[in-house]
């Protein structure tokens, strides 16, 4: 499958796919005789996986670490789990901050309700 088809299938632009390869997120992508990238079913899974981690708000650098661990095989399961557990803390902290922000804005809105009434 060429980059255009793969791009449509994964909903990731060809530009971004090349970028992911450049920064080492996509490794050992097959090439045809003329040097064009040739993607496989495995690559679909892999990009799907990257997308899921991204959706979780994980940075590409962290995803790369994860990718490296995964490449090393089953022996790194524990490390990958730890990486995810670190990310839980990140997301939990973010939620806390957002909740506080929400409170603050609502207080400010209350203030406006008061001064607008009077």
* 108 interacts with, out of a second copy, DNA, none, CB within 5 to 8 A per kind: a second copy
How many other β-carbons are positioned within 10 Å of the β-carbon of residue 107? 9
DSSP 74: G
Q: Max Cα separation, the chain?
A: 77
Backbone phi, psi, residue 72, to 5°: -80, -5
Tokens of residue 69, six digits: 């661990």
Size of the site for DNA (CB under 7 A): 20
What's the token pair of residue 108? 């400010």
- Quickly count: other Cβ atoms within 10 Å of residue 6's Cβ: 20
Q: Which span (58-66, 74-82, 88-96, 105-113) binds DNA, by CB under 7 A?
A: 58-66
**Contact indicator for 23, 13 with CB cutoff of 8 Å:** no
Is 26 a binder of DNA (CB under 7 A)?
A: no
Choose from a second copy, DNA, none: what does 27 bind? Cβ within 5-8 Å by kind: none
45 binds a second copy (CB under 8 A): no
Among 44, 49, 54, 87, binds DNA (CB under 7 A): 54
Binding site for a second copy (CB under 8 A): 52, 55-57, 77-78, 80-81, 84-85, 87-88, 91-92, 94-95, 97-99, 101-102, 104-106, 108-109, 112-113, 115-116
């Amino acid at each position: 499958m060429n980059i255009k088809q793969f791009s449509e299938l994964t909903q990731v632009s060809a530009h971004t796919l090349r970028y992911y390869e450049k920064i080492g997120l996509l490794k050992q992508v097959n090439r045809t005789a003329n040097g064009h990238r040739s993607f496989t079913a495995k690559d679909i899974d892999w990009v799907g996986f990257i997308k899921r981690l991204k959706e979780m708000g994980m940075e590409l650098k962290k995803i790369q670490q994860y990718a490296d661990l995964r490449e090393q095989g089953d022996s790194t399961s524990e490390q990958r789990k730890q990486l995810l557990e670190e990310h839980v803390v990140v997301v939990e902290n973010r939620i806390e901050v957002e909740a506080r922000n929400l409170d603050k804005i609502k207080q400010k809105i209350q203030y406006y309700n008061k001064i607008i009434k009077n």
